[in-house]
Amino acid sequence: MRSPKDFFAPLAVGAPQPPRQIPVRPSRMIHFFDPGNEKMAAKVPDLAKKTDVLLGNLEDAVRADRKEAARAGLVSIAKATDFGRTQLWTRVNSLDSPWVLDDLITLVTEIGDKLDVIMIPKVEGAQDIHYVDRLLAQLEARAGLTEPLLVHAILETASGVANVEEIAGASPRMQGISLGPADLAASRRMKTTRVGGGHPGYLVRTDPVGEDLNEGRTTYQQDLWHYTVARMVDACAMNGILPYYGPFGDIRDVVACEDQFRNAFLLGCVGAWSLHPVQIDIAKKVFSPSPADVAWARRVIAEMGDGTGAVMIDGKMQDDASVKQCRVVVELADELAATDPELAAAYDAATKEIQS
Ligand SMILES: CC(=O)SCCNC(=O)CCNC(=O)[C@H](O)C(C)(C)COP(=O)(O)OP(=O)(O)OC[C@H]1O[C@@H](n2cnc3c(N)ncnc32)[C@H](O)[C@@H]1OP(=O)(O)O
Ligand SMILES: O=CC(=O)O
Ligand SMILES: [Mg+2]
């Protein structure tokens, strides 16, 4: 553990100063693509116009014999593409793999100035982040980078979940954490073969109404990921970094995908992964507060004046705490609206309507 006095000092001579705040930029969807897949790579310039984050994936879902091609593809795409406001992230291979060292050396020295965030899979504890932190500082110094790279951890091992608070606070570079339900299920020896989402067998049942135990009993499917997402959100919030839901593998089931994303949004996540173009608009919709919620929150803030005391609005009590909840919604809406004129117009129209 570094001394608090040294926490923000660069870890290598010539490396840039680590960040004190995580930059506020929309990241409702982290769109995964395989940079070695020509069809996907060809879509990157268009996808950059409609995504908050594009992530060149080098890890799972890229075949072992395509790892070098994916890495080289990402270097060419980063050099050739104007990403505009869209962030470029990468997911490197896991720290115990034969590829990760070359992933980091190549990407930081060749395209470190184009990358915003490096996602590290299968993080088990703070020691993994410390290793990456020092190596990135050395590579940043070698590459002459002036801006520090940020680090994002995937929460997908039982050990990572047990250590999530120390992972979230392990380095000033920590930008956020994503839930990785597939690897996490395997690591925990859970008995679901799905990539994220619910499971019909994980349920609660109402009490029996009579002698027949099968008669008239409703079942409710439960969320397998509730505990982990909530714990991840707390770990991120207490360290000033951002939580995300990860993959939803049933691409065809856009309805359940939207539900899973919305659960994460309501619990505090700022975004989710999109694995297929069809999931981009789902994430955009879900992780942007609705115009009606924004209008309501603006109204509560306006009617609460200096934000203290209690008032009644439409039969609902509002006080110092609820005005803080409303500020969370309005701050997020303002951040998103600043780069999205359509959203800004929808928020203003809903606000006018509620005022009239
Ligand atoms: C557990 C985890 O680690 S999750 C993270 C790792 N997994 C991933 O990154 C998976 C990323 N996604 C994919 O590989 C693909 O979307 C798949 C394999 C799921 C489905 O691919 P396909 O069967 O080709 O889907 P589909 O036929 O619907 O694709 C339609 C078009 O969209 C393209 N496309 C599909 N996914 C993507 C994507 N993520 N980004 C860009 N383009 C894509 C296809 O290449 C295809 O292009 P074409 O019209 O020029 O032929
Ligand atoms: O990497 C993601 C996962 O779910 O595993
Ligand atoms: Mg994984």
Q: Is 2 annotated as a binding residue?
A: no
CA of 277 to the centre of ligand 1 (A): 7
- Residue pLDDT, tens place only, 147-197: 999 999 999 999 999 999 999 999 999 999 999 999 999 999 999 999 999
> 319 pLDDT exceeds 70?
yes
Task: Report the share of the chain in percent with pLDDT over 90.
Answer: 98
Of the pLDDT bands very low, low, confident and very high (cuts 50, 70, 90), residue 104 is very high
- Map out the domains of the chain as residue ranges: 4-286, 291-355
| pLDDT tens by residue, 105-142 | 999 999 999 999 999 999 999 999 999 999 999 999 99
Nearest CA to ligand 1 atom 48: 39
pLDDT band at 13 (very low <50, low <70, confident <90, very high): very high
Hey, is 82 helix, strand or coil? coil
Q: Write the ipTM.
A: 0.99
> Quick check: 259 pLDDT over 80?
yes
Residue 87: name the closest of 134, 23, 137 by CA. Answer: 23
Ligand 1 within 6 A of CB of 198: no
Position 355 scores a pLDDT of 81
Euclidean distance between CA atoms 202 and 224, whole angstroms: 7
89 forms beta bridges with: 55, 117
pLDDT at position 328: 97
Q: d(Cα 331, Cα 10) in Å, to the nearest integer?
A: 31
Residue bearing tokens 């994503």: 178
According to the model, what pLDDT value does residue 1 have? 67
Q: Whose CA is nearest to atom 2 of ligand 2?
A: 180
What's the farthest any 2 CA atoms get from each other in the chain? 76
Q: Are residues 86 and 53 in contact, defined by beta-carbon separation less than 8 angstroms?
A: yes
> From the CB of 181, is ligand 2 less than 6 Å away?
yes
Alpha carbon distances (Å) from 274 to 57, 237, 240, 291: 12, 23, 24, 23
Cβ of 134 closer than 6 Å to ligand 1, yes or no, is: no
Q: What is the spatial distance between Cα 172 and Cα 213, in angstroms, rounded to a whole number?
A: 56
DSSP H/E element including 219: strand 219-221
Distance 63 CA to ligand 3 centre (A): 14
Residue 275 CA, ligand 1 centroid: distance in Å = 6
Residues 317 and 310: beta-carbon distance below 8 Å: yes
How many C-beta neighbours within 10 Å does residue 290 have?
15
Query: What is the CATH number that goes with domain 4-286?
Result: 3.20.20.60
* Tokens representing residue 147 in the block: 């801006």
Does the beta carbon of 154 sit less than 6 angstroms from any atom of ligand 2?
A: yes
Tell me the percentage of the chain whose pLDDT exceeds 70: 100
pLDDT of residue 124: 98
91 is in an annotated binding site: yes
Cut 0.90: pTM above it: yes
Distance 232 CA to ligand 2 centre (A): 15
What percent helix, strand, coil does the chain show, rounded to 5?
A: 45, 15, 40
Q: Which residues contact 98 (CB under 8 A, 6 or more apart)?
A: none
246 Cα nearest atom in ligand 1: 4
Q: Is 335 annotated as a binding residue?
A: no
> Which ligand 1 atom minimizes the distance to the CA of 251?
19
Residue 208 CA: distances (Å) to CA of 28, 45, 217: 43, 57, 6
Q: How far is the CA of 273 from the centre of ligand 1 (A)?
A: 13
Residue 100 pLDDT greater than 80, yes or no: yes
Q: Which residue has the tokens 């770990």?
A: 235
Region label for 77, one of left (φ > 0), alpha (ψ between -120 and 50) or beta (otherwise): alpha
Residues 6+ apart with CB under 8 A from 352: none
